[in-house]
Amino acid sequence: MSTEVKVPTLGESVSEATIGQWLKQPGEAVALDEPIASLETDKVAIEVNAPVAGVLAQQLAEVGATVTVNAVIATITAGAAAAAPAPAAAPAAAAVSAPAETGGEESSDPAVLSPAVRRAVLEYGIDPATIKGTGKDGRITKEDVVAAAKAKPASTGAAISVPAAVATNERREERVKMTRLRQTIAKRLKSAQENAALLTTFNDVDMSAVMEARNRFKDSFEKKHGVKLGFMSFFAKASVLALKDIPAVNAQIDGDEIVYHDYVDISVAVSAPSGLVVPVVRNVDKMSFADIEKSIANYGKAAKDGKLTMEDMKGGTFTISNGGVFGGLMSTPIINPPQSAVLGLHRIEDRPVVRNGQIVIRPMMYIALSYDHRIIDGREAVTALKTIKEAIEDPTRLLIDL
């Protein structure tokens, strides 16, 4: 007896998705509620779980196909039957590589490595057979290749399997379909540029006080709260001060009206295998440092594991994006519509500055505030960024709401 596998409810106002990856192939045994496919929506990846235990009989949609809610995408032969032979069309479907933006979770066979992993293997000169995959079902991810490259001795003398096209210096091109999430990101960012009057103001921050406080309390903080004390909680709390003082920075345009919020929901940009995502930490104005750090850590793990939900991404009144983790010195971040402002953080580096008439070395960070000039005046934007700067340079302000 065969059981149909249908596309589950995808979230409010979301009616279709794209088949991102098949996690099980025809003929393979599946357990009840075991993920058999990954769907990509406009915002997050959603796993489709097996409704019964048995053997995957058919895949009725190929990787990259668009499917709607309740559409039948596979069938499962219920029961503990032996693995059935795969249909003739299965090998073709199985050979489809994941899009480059997915982080490239695939097997170690060079013939079926995803484009992202294949490029990384060639770039770092790593034999994929020597890499232990940490992705689903032991698949190799791009991060696994990078980690293997860092652990690789300077010269191993090992022979590395290089595709013939590369060995003969043949020029190649590769065309990879954009994921649904990447397409949505592209549309939203372009829309923000077209519809908002974007402007960016900059400042620099002396991170000495925050770094000293973090180094002083990080061990006791982690011991008490079970989470590391990072810089994001300091900037989140500093942003709350700025947004409370300058309400326009926490507002948004709705038609011919401006909507002001008496709460602060901060979208925190984090990296996921399929691209940059911005889950929302809600009611930050009422949260402690530990609450903020725990929320961000949980979202970071969920993003890495592809477990973020539509509800996690919904809403947000302000965004913080930390390009510093990738080494960025300065940027002009783009707002996350319908929000009106985004704070960009960057790398910390020692620079000479003048203090009390003396040139000294301080750990400095450039910060940027991009904003919609339609509702936020330059004076307001500069004041908000200055408030954040002052709170970071003197964290005591965060305790006394100054």
Query: Looking at the annotation, which residues are catalytic?
Result: 373, 377
Could you say which DSSP state residue 372 is in? E
What is the widest separation between alpha-carbon atoms in the chain?
A: 83
Query: How would DSSP label each residue in 107-169?
Result: -S-TTT--HHHHHHHHHHT--GGGPPP-SGGG-B-HHHHHHHHHHS-S---------HHHHTT
β-bridge partners, 371: 199, 341
Write down the H helix ranges in 350-401: 378-393, 396-400
Question: Which among 225, 335, 381, 375 has a CA at the least distance from the CA of 288?
Answer: 225
Question: Which among 358, 37, 390, 376 has a CA at the least distance from the CA of 196?
Answer: 376
Tokens of 188: 């939203």
Tokens of 74: 């596979």
Buried b (16+ CB within 10 A) or exposed e, 22-53: bbbebbebbeeeebbbbbbbbbbbbbbebbbb
Q: Identify the sign of the CA torsion 333, 339, 340, 346.
A: negative
**Rounded to 5 degrees, what are φ and ψ at 77?**
-85, 115
Task: Work out whether strand 275-277 and strand 270-272 pair parallel, antiparallel, or are unpaired.
Answer: antiparallel
What is the three-class DSSP state of 56?
strand
